[in-house]
């Protein structure tokens, strides 16, 4: 497609993307009309006359966003002028173009914000205060405009404002586990956004709105396809299609990454091997990278899953992760590209505790990866469980950039029918102390690179986005996308603050709605932990689809795929002993952390059964036996969902009937499934404990045999068999 033709299509898409949309489609960018007359007057005064620097496509989309946002919120078309004059109330321009009269007010600020940061500041000029949005680069202007619109949208005062902000993490990425046939592994919001059959000539307006949403929260990278990769994405036919998406994303500061199948030289290159030390294989990757940059000059690089869950990798040829990652990094290095090498590895041939395997495999290679390699580590050592202790690798590789991998989609969290506010989970992990350089060595400081002065840093989130009208299946799942972006920008933010931001931008700033709904969101993740895996229980989901409970599953071909591997329930007790008397996984943590985890008396009870196999009569801190305490936790989770339903009922007057009914129906599903989890798990574990349910726990209405008989062959999000 010619450049002129594409630009025409692109800007037609921008215009259409702001048209009438179904409820929920606009995410946190609804830009609802402001109702308070005093606020409207104040914002109108500040936006009476606007100078907006022109030029690049990024500045054009920033100006379009401001025009649309102000018109929708203030009810008038903003007045933009083409040159700076004394009457301006708002100036938007890069720092190098600021008027001489005000530039001194910004010199120190501009030195702090780097390439992507921005400044929003009220300064005196010509005997009045003017509002200035400035940055060192175009993308900073775009981020600044989105932040300014958010401040207006949420009713915040701009009088005397001085906001200087910049991202703490370099690569802020969404990982799409989308397949080329448009199914989505662990996707619960419809099919893949990427319509490969219609690309390149059809640019869906949703691609633009997707880019807008990501830019509004600072996400600057996206991998388009599943980490269980298909080599076809690297062929010219698909690279043309990827190029079309990359051109849409580029004005919004988003780089495209591709998942690279390690065996691609054989599958699409005609070679007999994919050995990373083979000269022909190295040449193939060098040539392929050069070809990709010919299509996509701002290509980000490769995301690689290798030698994990059946995926090919360097170990197939007697090589190691360094050999594989550095081979690709060498090919990408001349173009400024990166390799993101996933550390999610475990083997059925390794008798070691699965929780230990990634650490054992990667930590010995610390310092051996090239400078443009990041090792992407899941937040916990097993697999996106409702609660896990932080991954020990975050405290053990000071010479290697470790990229955090969170899951935004809800694979082990009830899918998109359960309301689960995940920034609470993200915050819990990021604030965990690794003690790598003494107290205060948090995971956040490891990830943002500040602990060891890393040159590059990254955070990835496995996307929960699909073709559903509201993008994420559950309206409140939008908050997880939003919250991930905010924490990737600044991992020190609180999930409480983020929840309030999202509620006000998405629904209303009425405190009668904000206060109870924020409380509901903040408690929601704990509710799910309680009714799925209290006290450190983990990975007890039904097989394959991970929909619903399956603690009884023990017939799968690989031991570490079976729930019985993780809970180890028997007549003596329950839990996985990872102390020195068991697998000794605690030895992978710093001594200060291991000492806490090793003793059941000091181990936080939320991790108790993660690290300890304890008797059914073990006394918890509240005086309850382990059996009674576990059963009461399951009941507490159900009770918490019932409280969520009541809370949602109380805010009905503050939202539309459609908004109310959708969430109300989903909460009913969540309650039904919370009871299913409670009853199935307690009936199963009761076969070992031989104890009655304590008072306060509702008796199951079905038998254990009934729950074991349930089958869900078409549950959404299952990994395709051809991978």
Closest CA to 143 of 492, 499, 486: 486
Cβ proximity of 696 and 637 under 8 Å: no
Paired sense of beta strands 90-94 and 171-175, if any: unpaired
Structure tokens at 214: 């990501």
CB 344 within 8 A of CB 365: no
* 394 within 8 A of 402, measured Cβ to Cβ: yes
Per DSSP (E only), the strands in 516-605 are 573-574
H, E, C per residue of 130-189: EEEEEECCHHHHHHHHHHHHHHHHCCCCCCCCEEEECCCCCEEEEECCECCCCCECCCCC
Q: 309 catalytic, yes or no?
A: yes
> Annotated catalytic residue: which of 116, 165, 275, 411?
411
Helix (H, G, I), strand (E, B) or coil at 375: strand
Kindly state the DSSP code that residue 414 receives in the 8-state scheme.
T
Cβ neighbours for 347, distance < 8 A, ≥ 6 positions apart: 357
Q: Is the dihedral of CA 229, 232, 236, 242 positive or negative?
A: negative
Give helix 279-295 / helix 321-332 axis angle, nearest 10°: 40
383 is catalytic: yes
Task: Count the neighbouring beta carbons within 10 Å of the beta carbon of residue 317.
Answer: 18
- 3-class SS at 643? helix
The single residue of 309, 366, 496, 698 carrying the catalytic annotation is 309
Q: Which of 30, 65, 323, 383 is catalytic?
A: 383
Q: How many CB atoms lie within 10 A of CB 71?
A: 15
CA 56 – CA 114 distance, rounded (Å): 19
* Residues carrying an active site annotation: 309, 383, 411
């Amino acid at each position: 497609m010619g450049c002129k033709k594409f630009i025409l299509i692109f800007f037609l898409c921008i215009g259409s993307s702001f048209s009438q949309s179904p409820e929920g489609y606009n995410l946190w960018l609804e830009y609802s009309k402001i109702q308070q007359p005093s606020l409207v007057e104040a914002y109108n005064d500040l936006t009476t006359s606007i100078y907006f620097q022109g030029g690049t496509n990024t500045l054009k989309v920033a100006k379009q966003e401001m025009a649309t946002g102000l018109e929708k919120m203030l009810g008038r078309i903003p007045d933009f002028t083409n040159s700076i004059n004394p009457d301006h109330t708002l100036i938007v321009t890069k720092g190098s173009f600021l008027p001489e009269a005000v530039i001194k007010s910004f010199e120190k600020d501009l030195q702090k914000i780097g390439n992507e940061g921005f400044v929003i500041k009220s300064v005196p000029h010509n005997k009045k205060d003017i509002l200035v949005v400035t940055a060192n680069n175009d993308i900073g202007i775009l981020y600044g405009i989105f932040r300014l619109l958010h401040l207006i949208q949420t009713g915040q005062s701009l009088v005397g404002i001085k906001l200087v902000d910049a991202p703490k993490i370099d690569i802020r990425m969404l990982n799409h586990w989308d397949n080329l046939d448009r199914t989505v592994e662990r996707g619960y919001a419809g099919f893949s956004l990427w319509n490969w059959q219609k690309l390149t000539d059809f640019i869906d307006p949703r691609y633009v709105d997707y880019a807008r949403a990501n830019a509004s929260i600072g996400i600057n990278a996206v991998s388009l396809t599943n980490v269980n990769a298909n080599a076809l994405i690297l062929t010219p036919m698909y690279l043309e299609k990827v190029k079309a998406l990359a051109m849409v994303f580029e004005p919004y500061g988003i780089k495209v990454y591709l998942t690279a199948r390690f065996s691609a030289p054989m599958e699409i290159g005609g070679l007999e091997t994919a050995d990373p030390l083979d000269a022909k294989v190295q040449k193939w990757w060098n040539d392929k990278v050069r070809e990709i940059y010919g299509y996509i000059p701002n290509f980000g690089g490769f995301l690689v899953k290798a030698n994990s869950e059946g995926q090919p990798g360097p170990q197939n040829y007697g090589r190691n992760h360094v050999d594989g990652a550095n081979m690709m990094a060498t090919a990408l290095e001349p173009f400024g590209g990166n390799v993101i090498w996933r550390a999610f590895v475990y083997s059925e041939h390794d008798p070691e505790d699965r929780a230990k395997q990634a650490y054992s495999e990667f930590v010995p290679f610390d310092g051996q990866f090239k400078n443009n390699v990041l090792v992407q580590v899941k937040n916990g050592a097993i697999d996106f469980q409702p609660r896990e202790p932080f991954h020990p690798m975050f405290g053990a590789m000071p010479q290697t950039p470790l990229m955090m991998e969170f899951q935004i989609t809800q694979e082990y969290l009830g899918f998109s029918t359960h309301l689960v506010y995940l920034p609470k989970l993200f915050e819990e992990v990021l604030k965990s102390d690794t003690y790598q350089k003494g107290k205060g060595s948090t995971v956040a400081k490891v990830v943002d690179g500040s602990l060891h002065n890393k040159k590059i840093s990254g955070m990835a989130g496995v996307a929960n986005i699909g073709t559903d009208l509201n993008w994420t299946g559950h309206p409140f799942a939008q908050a997880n996308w939003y919250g991930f972006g905010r924490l990737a920008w600044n991992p020190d933010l609180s999930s409480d603050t983020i929840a309030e931001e999202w509620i006000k931008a998405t629904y209303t700033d009425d405190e009668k709605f904000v206060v109870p709904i924020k409380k509901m969101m903040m408690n929601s993740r704990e509710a799910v932990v309680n009714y799925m895996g209290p006290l450190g229980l983990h990975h007890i989901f039904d097989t394959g689809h991970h929909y619903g409970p399956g603690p009884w599953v023990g017939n799968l071909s690989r031991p570490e795929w079976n729930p019985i591997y993780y809970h180890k329930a028997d007549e003596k007790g329950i839990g996985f002993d990872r102390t020195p008397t068991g697998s000794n996984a605690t030895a992978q943590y710093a001594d200060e952390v291991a000492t806490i985890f090793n003793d059941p008396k000091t181990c936080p009870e939320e991790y108790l059964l993660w690290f300890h196999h304890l008797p059914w009569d073990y006394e918890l801190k509240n005086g309850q036996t382990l059996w009674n305490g576990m059963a009461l936790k399951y009941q507490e989770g159900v009770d918490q969902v019932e409280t969520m339903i009541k809370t949602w009922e109380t805010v009905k007057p503050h939202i539309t009937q459609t908004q109310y009914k959708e969430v109300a129906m989903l909460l009913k599903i969540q309650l039904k499934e919370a009871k299913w989890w409670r009853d199935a798990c307690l009936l199963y574990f009761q076969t070992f404990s031989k104890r009655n349910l304590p008072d306060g726990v509702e008796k199951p209405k079905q038998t254990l045999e009934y729950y074991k008989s349930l089958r869900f062959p078409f549950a959404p999000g299952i990994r395709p068999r051809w991978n």
